[in-house]
Amino acid sequence: MTNTDRIQNVAVLGAAGKMGSGILYLSTLYISQIALAPENRNKTFTIYAIDQSQERLNGLLKYTRDLLLKWAEKNTVWLRSAYRERTDLIENCEIIQEYMENAMALIKPTTRIESAFESTLIFEAVIENIELKTHLLGAIKKNNPLNPWFLTNTSSIPIEVLNAKAQLEGNIIGCHFYNPPAVQRLIEVIELKNGNKELVDWVNDFGQMLDKVMVPANDIAGFIGNGFFMRDLLFGIEKINQLQPEFTFAESVLLIDTLTRDFMLRPMGIFQLTDYVGIDVCSFILKVMNNYLPEELHSEILPELLEKKISGGQNSDGSQKAGLFTYAKGKIEMVYDLPSGRYIPVVEIIPKLNTYLGELPENLTWKSLSGNRDKELLIKGFFEGMKRSDSRGAKLAMEYMKKMKSIGENLVSQGVTETGNHVNTVMITGFHHLYGPINEYC
């Protein structure tokens, strides 16, 4: 079976979810371009968008259409070349309309898993639940006579576990897109040991055509991104415990969040990032990692927050749910105090924290540096000033930076990935850090 044959019948599981919707768009974008090649004009291509909710599937079509239209409007030169034999298409708007109709016609929304029983390529993007994933993948494998390839978007579950439980015979690969897949360029690729090499090659071609940054990770629970993030989070929680009783729980959370954002030039502090991902999701990832790793990765704080219905995550419109913080127009407004069970306005806490942390060596922020052509030089100068500073904030930041470097280096020594460059690429591309954790700044 050729690669073109392989993508003539594709299924996306969990297509209407946060990750699945982006994966559906990307697979539609990829296949719609392949279908325009002269040698493929007479072939039929189908993408089954499979989800439990028909209502969400209806919304999915609009989401996909809007993204495809934006792409088409930016790529009219390429489309003109692709449709050069169509003399009836004169204006750009006519070419775009033709492309849109053809691309959207590829998608077949359905709530029936049976639609995947004739697919030869399966993208799996359901919730991070081993039992659900293996049940769905196993059902497709059992009922599909075409020996399909499986691409799982798991962010933490070892691929070998899914392969063994669903009896996929090595035809599975970890293809961890970052959220949102339509925008984020990073894909972590987790190759199964002794898996299908043709599948590995196809995934890399797929990513290259979509201009993605492909980073290989070994099949160790959590992989690179969550392997780093979860340990970063646990260290942040450790610092909360060390700051008490000098600071309340709420004060400690805001202090460490401010430190990891402003003093380390990150786009978000560690606890705002935890809210963004979801406290419930982070807790589940830690449980998965603990099942398969020798070290204990655990914190009592996360289960306690979940018991009090403090879960974070995002609403369907993309707005942030309350978690460790509440938000107003995307900005932190209040911070949760676990012992008292109430939210406290940050304006009541900030003066005390500023006095404790002291001033930054330079008035630089992640936002001011992210588009600056001289950012590497400025970042170096910022941390040189931090090392010279006697402020408690600077010293605490340097301690935190050294820990982050150690976490990154340990991911290499533990065999999660082959090089420190892979760790740095994941954190810079996937988490939008200005620099990788394995550096000389500290």
Q: Examine the fold and report which residue of 191, 217, 243 is the final residue of a domain before the chain moves on.
A: 217
- Residue pair 4/34 in contact (Cβ under 8 Å)? The answer is yes
- pLDDT 10s digits, 59-82: 999 999 999 999 999 999 999 999
- Residue pair 120/5 in contact (Cβ under 8 Å)? The answer is yes
Domain total for the chain? Answer: 2
Residue 148 located in a structural domain: yes
Q: Give yes or no: residues 348 and 420 share one domain.
A: yes
Q: Give yes or no: residues 186 and 213 share one domain.
A: yes
Task: Please state the rounded mean pLDDT for residues 158-166.
Answer: 97
Residue 204 located in a structural domain: yes
Q: Give yes or no: residues 33 and 96 share one domain.
A: yes
Query: Which range marks the domain in which residue 172 is found?
Result: 3-217
Residue 439 located in a structural domain: no
Q: Give yes or no: residues 240 and 335 share one domain.
A: yes
- Cβ-count burial 409-420 (b if 16+ within 10 Å, e if not): eebbeeebbeeb
Q: Examine the fold and report which residue of 217, 240, 259 is the final residue of a domain before the chain moves on.
A: 217
CATH number reported for the structural domain that contains residue 343 in this entry: 1.10.1040.10
Residue 69 located in a structural domain: yes
Q: Examine the fold and report which residue of 185, 217, 249 is the final residue of a domain before the chain moves on.
A: 217
Task: Please state the rounded mean pLDDT for residues 405-434.
Answer: 98
Q: Give yes or no: residues 174 and 245 share one domain.
A: no
- Judged against a pLDDT cut of 80, whether residue 7 lies above it is answered with yes
Length of the chain: 442
Task: Please state the rounded mean pLDDT for residues 132-146.
Answer: 97
230 burial via Cβ count (<10 Å: 0-12, 13-18, 19+): buried
Q: Give yes or no: residues 257 and 149 share one domain.
A: no
Residue 441 located in a structural domain: no
Flag whether the pTM goes above 0.85.
yes
Report the mean per-residue pLDDT for the chain. 96
Secondary structure (DSSP) of 187-236: EEEEPPTT--HHHHHHHHHHHHHTT-EEEEE-SSTTTTHHHHHHHHHHHH
CATH number reported for the structural domain that contains residue 205 in this entry: 3.40.50.720
pLDDT in the model for residue 381: 97
Q: Give yes or no: residues 212 and 232 share one domain.
A: no
- pLDDT 10s digits, 38-66: 999 899 999 999 999 888 999 999 999 99
- pLDDT 10s digits, 204-216: 999 999 999 999 9
- The DSSP element (H or E) to which 344 belongs, if any, is strand 342-345
What is the signed CA dihedral for 133, 139, 141, 142, rounded to 10 degrees? 150
If pLDDT is split at 50, 70 and 90, which confidence band does 329 have?
confident
